[in-house]
Amino acid sequence: MIMKKARLATIVVAVLMMSSVLSVNAQRAVNIEVIPYVKEMVWFNVSGLDKAQQFQVKIQNEQGELLFSETFKNQDQYKKVLDFSIANKGTYYVDLVNDYSLIRKVIKVGEGQLVNSNFKYATEDTKVLSREIHKIGNDKYAIKFENSLGIPISFAIRDNEGNLLHSEKDIDTTYAKLYNLSNLESGDYSMVISAKNYTSYYSVNLGK
């Protein structure tokens, strides 16, 4: 097992330049708005959702503390009043997450537009990280990311004990590779995609 782990990095790096194997799922025209409401509150409005998919809305501060989370399905839109009355000055990440993408709004409290005498905030453009993973034949996986978050993401492969087998960092735009895992023993593995305040796991079972 140790030998196979050591060899993994030498067998997974077939680069797919403009591959016909992968085509990232076309994202629907999802529209996200942050609109002033009353006092220290804003409307968070999302439209254009795929009703067949399950989504999660998460709000975190810059330190990664989870302030709000809600999961929903069978909706083509989502509306929520966000209350920042007890929020400290700083950056907040409002994420819409499903199995294929992260859509993010960054709200900076204490900056930008004056809503009333006590509350200022600014929002950045909507940011997106989309990913697609396909099994290609026996123990081969084609992987592609489209990253417009403005920050780098990382990709790792770990075994079921959490041991790191392979990692790549500082992926800041498009990434496409074919991973050949046939040299690993049978068992459960995880592909881990991470960015600031975001981690996504994809389970892989290798049955020899």
Same domain for 119 and 37: yes
Asked, for residue 26, whether it belongs to a domain, the answer is no
Is pLDDT of 83 > 90? no
d(CA 96, CA 59): 9
189-203 confidence digits (pLDDT tens) = 999 999 988 999 999
Does residue 158 contact residue 79 with C-beta atoms inside 8 Å? no
Asked, for residue 95, whether it belongs to a domain, the answer is yes
At 158 the pLDDT is 93
Band the pLDDT of 208: cuts 50, 70, 90: low
Same domain for 45 and 119: yes
Band the pLDDT of 55: cuts 50, 70, 90: very high
Same domain for 166 and 111: no
What is the span of the domain harbouring residue 148?
Answer: 2-21+136-206
At 71 the pLDDT is 94
Is pLDDT of 10 > 50? no
At 28 the pLDDT is 55
d(CA 135, CA 133): 7
Total tally of structural domains belonging to the chain: 2
Domain termination site, one of 104, 128, 152: 128
At 120 the pLDDT is 77
Q: Give φ, ψ of 147 to 5 degrees.
A: -120, 110
At 136 the pLDDT is 85
Same domain for 12 and 74: no
Domain termination site, one of 128, 162, 180: 128
Same domain for 142 and 123: no
The reported pTM is 0.76
Is pLDDT of 8 > 50? no
Q: Any idea what the CATH number is for the domain that residue 182 is in?
A: 2.60.40
**In the sheet where 153-159 sits, what is the strand order?**
164-171, 153-159, 187-195, 198-206
Same domain for 144 and 122: no
Same domain for 120 and 55: yes
At 194 the pLDDT is 92
Asked, for residue 35, whether it belongs to a domain, the answer is yes
d(CA 5, CA 183): 8
Query: Could you tell me the two tokens for 44?
Result: 């968070």
At 26 the pLDDT is 42
Band the pLDDT of 115: cuts 50, 70, 90: low
% the chain with pLDDT above 90: 25
